[in-house]
Amino acid sequence: MRTIRNSVILALCFFLPTVINAQNRPTLVEVATTFYSNYLFVQDDTYCLFQKKKDGWYVVEDHYSNPGNYVNQQLFWSAINKSYQPLSYPSALFDSGKVKDMVANYLITIDWDADRYNFERNRYYGYPGWDWDVINDSIKKNDLNDTLLESLGRAYSNYASGFLIEQYGNHFENNDPDRKTLSDTETVSQSRINKFIFYENKSIEMYKELLKRNPNYDTKVGNIAIKYSNEHLYPYSDLLMAGDSADSKIFLEGVDYPDSLLALSKTLLDVTPLNAILITAGDNDTYPLWYLQEKKNYRKDVLVINISLLGLRRYINMLDKEFKGTLFTTKSNVYFKNNFDYYVQIPDTGDVPRMSVGKFIDTLNNMPDNGNDNSIYMYKGERLKRFVTKQLFFNNEQHGPDQSVVSQKTVVLKDYIVMNKFMLLDIINHNLGKRPIFFTYKEDVVSDFLTEHDYVEEFDL
């Protein structure tokens, strides 16, 4: 870690701007802009993160190879002094255009589109225990405004998740033994389930109060009525993944989706062919469908799979068990390993020919952990598997193995592929000719294979 002399540190105090928003705190974008305007951060094996805490904004570093183990934590903007503090990074002055590009690249790195709402709405955010801090600060007050009440609801829900499935990262452990990190292969104890249900009910109470207080309150997913109903379906799905189908069904009670959303959800199911697979992307195109299927017994022949949840091993394992290993080819001895989080391409391989999706999947699934090259890339204590080509194609065997058709369309990967997109390719490839496949959104990985309909996108070779 590079440091700078005290004289330089003191000098920084005079040119660091102090831009504060209406809540008397700078936003994350303002903090990041100030940081990159004044400091040089050299990315070696770590990357930079900003954390919104009670006493101000912090700068920390996280490891690429072992994420979640933060180092070099420094207070950057003090809530007490209402000003920026000097940091032990080399000083650097960049022009505004360069800073803008650096901040834009940083926001892409942290997936700002997904996290913007949480940083803006939650009192604290971006570090292990932010939920617990929000809970403990909020329960002491009886005059929470609408935004803080929503933040409390989100905090209860996020804290609940730590007892079952670490869905959001930033796992927080306190003195509760049930907060210890649980392996995806471990059985979830009844004690953990009971605590998850307790805190999820607290979350639902907050949203119910907010719905009563301000029915027009808008959330990330729409009207508060939608968020309130979605919050019932979140524990429903998590309890299913934890193996507790009995308690999961309890959360289907009390759901009150707007008629307009249920009508749209019915339309999505109605236009989907018999026994099709329907891939969804978010809360509003997933939870109401599950509600209609499980509570109203409507179009249960359609298999609704959420693309985001395919990034969770317990969800993959639940599907694997439900379909007895027939939905995809990847086995549990592969998807339960740490290095299944993502795969990366071997650089500088030259002009490599296209590879079939099936061969691509089989090659990585059967590859030994020492990889397929001489480089050693470690991730969470395991070697990271690497692939050769980014150009893939599908074999269409719906007319029989003797009449296989090689698609001229190409799946073009990035320099890496993450777990949920790998599983998506496996599901599509394994079900070609068996079940029609549709999407509620434009999936970038197979965009060339999608045919647009009025409500859904069809995977079409």
The pLDDT of residue 201: 98
Distance between CA atoms of residues 207 and 453, nearest Å: 35
Q: Which residue pairs from 7-12 have beta carbons closer than 8 angstroms and sit at least 24 positions apart in sequence?
A: 8/91, 9/86, 9/88, 10/86, 11/91, 12/38, 12/86, 12/87, 12/91
The pLDDT of residue 245: 96
Strand order through the sheet with 457-459: 303-306, 277-280, 437-439, 457-459, 450-452
Is 361 part of a structural domain of the chain?
yes
Distance between CA atoms of residues 380 and 337, nearest Å: 10
pTM of the entire predicted model: 0.89
Is 79 part of a structural domain of the chain?
yes
Residue 153 shares a structural domain with residue 58 = no
Query: Where is the domain boundary, 236, 256, 276?
Result: 256
Cβ neighbours for 85, distance < 8 A, ≥ 6 positions apart: 74, 75, 76, 77, 78
Structure letter (DSSP) for residue 389? -
137 class by beta-carbon count within 10 Å (0-12 exposed, 13-18 middle, 19+ buried): middle
Is 39 part of a structural domain of the chain?
yes
Question: Which amino acid is present at 270?
Answer: D
Distance between CA atoms of residues 294 and 435, nearest Å: 21
Side-chain half-sphere of 161: how many Cα atoms within 13 Å?
20
Is 227 part of a structural domain of the chain?
yes
Distance between CA atoms of residues 160 and 421, nearest Å: 27
Residue 71 shares a structural domain with residue 190 = no
Please provide the size of the chain in residues. Answer: 461
Is 25 part of a structural domain of the chain?
yes
Residue 63 shares a structural domain with residue 150 = no
Is 115 part of a structural domain of the chain?
no
Distance between CA atoms of residues 445 and 411, nearest Å: 6
Reading the block at residue 273, the tokens are 């062919």
Is 280 part of a structural domain of the chain?
no
Q: What are phi and psi of 266, to 5 degrees?
A: -65, -40
252 class by beta-carbon count within 10 Å (0-12 exposed, 13-18 middle, 19+ buried): middle
Residue 56 shares a structural domain with residue 177 = no
Residue 17 shares a structural domain with residue 80 = yes
The pLDDT of residue 382: 87
Q: Do 255 and 233 form a contact (C-beta atoms < 8 A)?
A: yes
Residue 98 shares a structural domain with residue 150 = no
Task: Using alpha carbons, select from 238, 248, 243 the residue that is nearest to residue 188.
Answer: 243
Residue 99 shares a structural domain with residue 24 = yes
Identify the sign of the CA torsion 419, 249, 438, 229: negative
Residue 77 shares a structural domain with residue 147 = no
Is 276 part of a structural domain of the chain?
no
Give the distance, in angstroms, between the CA of residue 32 and the centroid of all CA atoms in the same chain: 22
The pLDDT of residue 65: 79
Task: Say how many domains are in the chain.
Answer: 3
Residue 84 shares a structural domain with residue 201 = no
For 91, the domain range is 6-110
The pLDDT of residue 169: 66
The pLDDT of residue 379: 83
**Torsion-angle region of 71 (φ positive above 0: left; ψ -120 to 50: alpha; else: beta):** beta
Residue 97 shares a structural domain with residue 141 = no
Task: Using alpha carbons, select from 276, 315, 310 the residue that is nearest to residue 293.
Answer: 276
Residue 373 shares a structural domain with residue 446 = yes
Query: Where is the domain boundary, 256, 279, 305?
Result: 256
332 class by beta-carbon count within 10 Å (0-12 exposed, 13-18 middle, 19+ buried): middle
Residue 100 shares a structural domain with residue 134 = no
Query: Where is the domain boundary, 45, 75, 110?
Result: 110
Q: DSSP secondary structure string, 328-369?
A: -S--HHHHTSGGGSEEEEPS---SPPPEEHHHHHHHHHT--T
Mean pLDDT by 10 residues, the chain (461 residues): 28 34 78 95 87 96 85 96 95 91 91 90 94 89 87 96 80 92 94 98 97 96 97 97 97 96 97 98 97 98 98 97 97 96 83 91 89 66 90 74 71 95 98 96 95 92 77
